[in-house]
Structure 1
Amino acid sequence: MGMCLPCLGGAADDVVVTPDPDTKRRQLAEAAEKRQKETTNRGIKNPEAVERKKKKQEEMEKQAVTAPSGGGGLRWQVG
């Protein structure tokens, strides 16, 4: 017959020690960050280029907001 109680021998080696709560919390946070990064980069061959393009677009929008809209710029003339 098999031994099913740890006091009967050998089963003490099979016990899994769980990490303390702080370590477990840190590991879970790291795993969540990794999953989030993977999902945001899914289907993108070059994520760095996409990030640079996004920052450039934001800077252009910021400049458009701060630039005066009335005068000083180039104007189109037809005719």
Structure 2
Amino acid sequence: MGLCSSCFKGSSEELITPDATVRRQQQLEAAERRRVENETRGIKDPEKVRRMQQKAEETARREEEAARMGGGQSALRWTQD
């Protein structure tokens, strides 16, 4: 009987749960990891995708700026000969 009693541990040796602030921080970190994993799921090169998005945003910004400056008319015009 004495051998089985070593399996039962007292309450002093129970796992200590982290306080609320530590637990919140761990949950935030886990949520951030899941968000990053979901964003990159199925993408072979995430950096390439990020560069393409930045390029598209820059192009859109330049088009908006050109429309504001030119009053909607472009400087280049098509001519027929």
Name whichever structure is richer in helix by fraction: 2
2:78 aligned residue? 76
Provide the residue aligned with 2:47 in structure 1. Answer: 48
After superposition, what is the alpha-carbon deviation per residue over 1:21-60, rounded to whole angstroms, capped at 9, x for unaligned?
1110000000000001100110001101100110110010
**Where has structure 1 moved over 3 Å in runs of 4 or more?**
none
Q: So what's the TM-score if we normalise by structure 1? A: 0.78
**Structure 2: how far apart are the matches of 1:30 and 1:61?**
34
2:48 is paired with a residue of what secondary structure?
helix
Q: How does 1:50-69 map to 2 (within 5 A)?
A: 50-67=49-66, 68=70, 69=72
**Percent same amino acid at aligned positions?**
36
The gaps in structure 1 that reach 5 residues or longer are none
Q: 1:36 to 1:9 in 2, by over 3 A?
A: closer
Please give the TM-score of this superposition, normalised by the length of structure 2.
0.76
Tell me the number of residue pairs that the alignment of Structure 1 and Structure 2 aligns: 74
Give the residue type in structure 1 aligned to 2:18. P
Aligned-pair Cα RMSD in Å: 2.4
Residue 20 of structure 1 is matched in structure 2 by 19
Structure 1 residue 9 displacement after superposition: 8.1
Q: Which moved more, 1:62-71 or 1:23-32?
A: 62-71
